[in-house]
Structure 1
Amino acid sequence: SLIALTLLIAAANQVMLNVPETKVTTLENGLRVASEDSGLSTCTVGLWIDAGSRYENERNNGTAHFLEHMAFKGTRKRSQLDLELEIENMGAHLNAYTSREQTVYYAKAFTKDLPRAVEILADIIQNSTLGGAEIERERGVILREMQEVETNLQEVVFDYLHATAYQATALGRTILGPTENIKTINRGDLVEYITTHYKGPRIVLAAAGGVSHNELIDLAKYHFGNLPARYKGEAPTFPQCDFTGSEIRVRDDKMPLAHIAIAVEAVGWSHPDTIPLMVANTLIGNWDRSFGGGVNLSSKLAQMACQGNLCHSFQSFNTCYTDTGLWGLYMVCEPGTINEMMHFAQLEWMSLCTSVTESQVARAKNLLKTNMLLHLDGSTPICEDIGRQMLCYSRRIPLHELEARIDAIDAKTIKDVCTKYIYDKSPAIAAVGPIEQLPDYNRIRSGMYWMRT
C-alpha cells in the first residue's frame, strides 16, 4: 500500500543518515584497506582480488576457480585439519568464490578475533602448499561440481549466453573451465596464476561490522606488506572482450520447460548509463508463479505473464563487467507460450524506448533504492559491497550520492538510454529445452525495431 511504501522510504532515508563512513588507506605496495565500523560484536573481513576467469586463456581456463578450491587445503604452517579446527573453535566462517572478474576470500568472525581472521586469510593466499595429493582430490571434486552445474539450467543458459555474446573472448568462457582443462591443470599453473595476479595494487582488504580501521591498517602492513607491488617484466594486459549479437539453441523436446535468456550489450560498472539501465531493469522486474497477486503487480510484463499464463517465471538482469555488460531477461516457459512471452517481453522493451511514464519511473526508482538498502543488511553484504566497489570504482560510492544519481533520472532519461542500448540492436540469445516455438533469430532481431513515435 501507499502508506507502507511511504514508511519504507522514510526508514530508508533514516538509514542513509546513519551509515558510518567507509575509510580507505593505500599501503606502500598498492594494497588498499577499506572498512566501515558499525560497532557490532561480529565482523566480516575479506580479500577482493582483481583476478577472475577473464584473465585466463583457453589453455588455463578454470585455474582461478581451481585455486579457490585449493585455498583451504593446507598452508606451510597449518594442515587442512588444523585450519578447519581453528576456524571452528573460533566460531568463525571461512568462504571463497570466483567470478569472471574477481576472486574473493573472506571470513566472518567475532570482532575480538579480527587479527586471527586476517592472519588466516594472509596465510591461505600467500602460503598454500598446493600439494599433489590435494590437487588430485580437488580435481574430482570440481568435476563433480561441473556435473551439478549442468543440472542447474539457469547457470547453463547464462554460460551459453556469455559464450554467444562474447564469442572467442575471455568473457565467453565459463568460470569452471572445460573438463579437459580440469583434468590437466597442475601445480605450475596454480603458482603461475598467483604470481601473475596476486599483486598489491590488485587486492583490497575490506572489512565491515565491528572493525577499527587503524587496527586493520596495522594488520594489513604486517601480513600483506611483503606482497609485491610490481610485475617482473610485462604486466598482464586487460583482455578486450567484444559483444557479438548471435544465439545458441539447444533443443530438447523431452524437457518439460524451455529456459531462455535474451540480452543486449550494456555498459561497465563506472559508465554513467549504468544507473538508468538499473532503473529500466527494475521497471521490467521479475515474477514467479508462486507469487500471490500478479494482476496487481507494478511490472506490466508481470501482469501480462500472470493473466495470460505466459511463463512459470521471468527475471530481468543487468550484469556489469569492467567495460561491458549484459542487460536482458531470463524466462522459463512451457513450449506453447514461448512465442507469446517473447512478443510481450520485446513489446515491454520497446515501450521503455517510447512510452514509459513518469509515474512508472518514480515507482521503479523507489523500488531500486529500497532493494539496494535491503541488500546491505548485515556485515557480510556490506563488506562485499565495499570490496566490489573498491575494485570497480576505486572508491565506495556513498549511499546519498547513489540516491541522488537515481533521483536525477526521469522518463526522458529512460527513453534516451534504452533507445541507445535496446532499439534496433542485435541481441544475444541462449535457449535450452523444447524451443521449437522460439521465433527465429531474424524475427527476434526485427522485434528490437519498433515504429518510433
Structure 2
Amino acid sequence: MYQKTVLRNGIRVVTEKIPYVYSVSTGIWVGVGSRDEQESERGITHFIEHMLFKGTQRRTALDIAKELDAVGGFANAFTSKEHVCFHAKVLDTHLPLVVDVLTDIFLNSVFAPQEIEREQQVVLQEIRMIEDTPDEFVHVLFQEMFWKNNPLGLPIYGTAETVARTDRESILRYLDRTFHPEQIVVAAAGNLEHDRFVDLVAPSLETLNHRERRADRKKPSIHPAIQVIEKELEQVHLCLGLKGVAQTDENRFPCHILNVILGNSMSSRLFQEIREKRGLAYSVYSFLNSHADTGMLGVYAGIAPENIEETLKLIRQQLDLLATEPIPETELAAAKEYLRGSMYLNAESTDSRMNRLAKNEFLFDRFIPFEEVEEKIMAVDAGSIQEWFQSVYHPQRMGLLLLGPAGLKEAHLENILLEKE
C-alpha cells in the first residue's frame, strides 16, 4: 500500500508497505546531481556523498559503521547526473535506528577538514580507477562529446583539479544552494507503517529550511561528432549514440522495447550478429541513458582493431533494419515479456521498490502501479516502434567515439557510418 505525506517545509515522504517481508529499505533523496554544479564545483555532489559518512556531531565514522553492522544493516549512497541518495536496509525492527542514523548524517555532518583532505585522496583514486577501466571510461568520454557544452555531459566525479579545490566552505555553500526541502524525497519500502515512519523522520527533517532553490537546468543539444582517442590497449572500445527519450516521454515504452531487441539481451540482434555468429566481440550491447529532459540510445562494443569496420557496418545494418522493416510479432512479444519479467522480478527487492517510489515522485509526482506500466508496455505495436525510431534515426546525427589502438581517421569512420564509397 502506497502513502504520501508532505512535511511542513515541503519535504515529501513516500512509503510502500509490503507486509510479507522482514526488511525495510529507506532512502533520503535530493533532486540535484552533477548537472546542477557550477564550473568551479565539478564533482562536489559526489564528494558530499562520500563525506556524509565521515562523522557527525554525535557520531564518528566508526560509530556509524558499527551501529549499522551491529544490527546486520547495510548503508550506502550514490550520485547520478540528477540525484544524490543516502540509503540503508535493515530488519523492520531496526527502522528507528536507521532513520536516526540517516537523518543524523544528512543534517549534522561536520565535514572536518582532516576528513575532507583524506577523502580527496580516495576520490582521486576512484577517478584514476575509472580512467584505467576503458569499457567504463569510453562512456564518460562519449557523453562529454555527445552533450558538449552542457553539465549533463561532464563526469559525475569531477576532475582532479576541482576535487583538490573542494573545502568545507564550498561544501556548505553548495548544500545551502541546492539541498532545498522541496528537492528532497524520503522513500521507504518494506514492512512498515506510514504514520509511524513519518513520526520518526519529521522532527529532525522539518528543521531543514534552506532558502535558496536549485537553478533551472539547461537542456542540452546533441553534438554528433566522430572522435578517435588513441591509447595503448588490447582492444578498441567503441561507443555509438543517437538521440533517445526523456524519462517522462511517452515514447519511452517503444524505445525500451527497441533497446531490448537491438542489444539489451542475449537473444538481441547485435549480440547474435556480432558475437554469436561472427565472434567479433565478447562484450556488445545497446543501452539507454534517460534523464528528466533528454536521453540517448547507444551501442557499445569491445573489439580487435582489425574488426572495427566490419563491426560498424553490422551495427549500421541492424539500425537500418529497425528503421525500414517492422519488428516481427514473435520478436516483439518476447521483448515485451522480457521487460515485464524484469519489472516484476525487481519488485521482489525492497531496495528496488524504494528506488522506484522516489523516482516516480520526482518525475511524475505520484505512485505508478506496476499494472499501469505493464499495460503501456503491452500496448506498444511494431508500427509505433518504427515510427518513433524513424523520427530519431539519422546516420548523420549519430555520434561515434573509439578509445584504443584504432589506427583510423575520423573521415574514414564517417564514410563507413554514412555508407559512403
- Alignment of 1:429 with 2:391, yes or no, is no
Of the candidates 309, 326, 330, which is equivalent to residue 359 of structure 1?
Answer: 330
2:9 to 9, 29, 32: 29
Q: Which runs of 5+ in 2 are unaligned?
A: none
Aligned with residue 350 of structure 1, among 320, 331, 348 = 320
Contact 1:74 1:83 in 2 (8 A): yes
- Deviation, 1:237, is 2.2
Aligned residues: CA RMSD: 1.8
Correspondences of 1:211-250 after superposition (within 5 Å): 211-228=192-209, 231-232=211-212, 235-250=214-229
Q: 1:438 to 1:407 in 2, by over 3 A?
A: farther
In the other structure, the counterpart of 1:8 is none
* Corresponding residue to 1:207 among 184, 188, 191: 188
Measured after TM superposition, the shift of residue 91 of structure 1 is 1.8
**Contact 1:72-1:80 within 8 A present in 2 as well:** yes
Are 1:339 and 2:317 counterparts? Answer: no
- Is 2:239 the counterpart of 1:270? no
Cα shift readout 1:209-262 (whole Å, capped 9, x = no counterpart): 11211111222322211222x634x6522233222111332123x421111111
Q: Distance in 2 between matches of 1:342 and 1:122?
A: 50
Q: CA deviation at 1:326?
A: 1.0
Letter in 1 for 2:273: M
Does structure 1 residue 110 correspond to structure 2 residue 91?
A: yes
- Counterpart of 1:330? 300
Would you say 1:95 and 2:65 are equivalent positions?
no
Deviation at 1:364, TM superposition (A): 1.1
Distance 1:322 1:235 in 2: 15
One-letter amino acid matched to 1:312: Y
Q: Which residue pairs with 1:161 in the alignment?
A: 142
- 1:347-366 Cα deviation digits (max 9, x unpaired): 11111111122222222111
Residue identity (%): 28
Please report how far the alpha carbon of residue 435 of structure 1 lies from its aligned counterpart in structure 2 after TM superposition: 1.7
> How far did residue 378 of structure 1 move?
1.5
- Report the alpha carbon displacement of residue 73 of structure 1 after superposing the two structures with TM: 0.6
SS of equivalent to 1:316: strand
Given the alignment of the two structures, is residue 377 of structure 1 paired with residue 356 of structure 2, yes or no?
no
The unaligned stretches of length 5 or more in structure 1 are 1-20, 288-296
Secondary structure in structure 1 of the residue aligned to 2:82: coil
Separation of aligned partners in 2, 1:130 and 1:235: 22
Structure 1 residues 95 and 433, CA, compared in 2 at 3 Å: closer, same or farther?
Answer: same
1:377 deviates by 3.0
Paired AA for residue 270 in structure 2: L
SS at structure 1 position matched to 2:334 = helix
Counterpart contact for 2:290–2:296, Cα < 8 Å: yes
Q: Which range is displaced more, 53-62 or 34-43?
A: 34-43
TM-score norm. by structure 2 comes to: 0.94
Which position in structure 2 is the counterpart of 1:285? 263
2:360 aligned to 389, 403, 422, which one? 389
Secondary structure of the corresponding residue to residue 70 of structure 2: helix
1:442 paired with 2:414, answer yes
SS of 1:372's partner is: helix
For 1:30, give the aligned amino acid: G
Distance 1:301 1:90 in 2: 46
2:312 touches 2:417 (CA, 8 Å); kept in 1? no
| 1:433, distance to aligned residue in structure 2 (A) | 1.0
Q: Could you tell me which residue of structure 2 aligns to residue 5 of structure 1?
A: none
The 2-side partners of 1:30 and 1:38 are apart by: 26
Paired with 2:277 and 2:305, the residues of 1 have a C-alpha distance of 17
Give yes or no for contact 1:265–1:326 (8 Å, CA) kept in 2: yes
Whether the 8 Å CA contact 2:271–2:285 is kept in 1: the answer is no
**2:22 is aligned with 1:41:** yes
Q: After superposition, what is the alpha-carbon deviation per residue over 1:50-101, rounded to whole angstroms, capped at 9, x for unaligned?
A: 0110111221101001101111110011122222221222221110011111
Alpha-carbon contact 1:115-1:219 (below 8 Å) kept: yes
Report what 1:413 is aligned to. 384
Q: CA deviation at 1:444?
A: 4.8
Q: Are residues 1:302 and 2:271 paired? A: yes
Matches of 1:123 and 1:176 in 2, distance apart? 24
In 1, the alpha carbon distance for the partners of 2:387 and 2:215 equals: 37
Question: What is the identity, as a one-letter code, of the residue corresponding to 2:383?
Answer: K
1:28 aligned counterpart, secondary structure: coil
How many residue pairs end up in the alignment?
Answer: 416
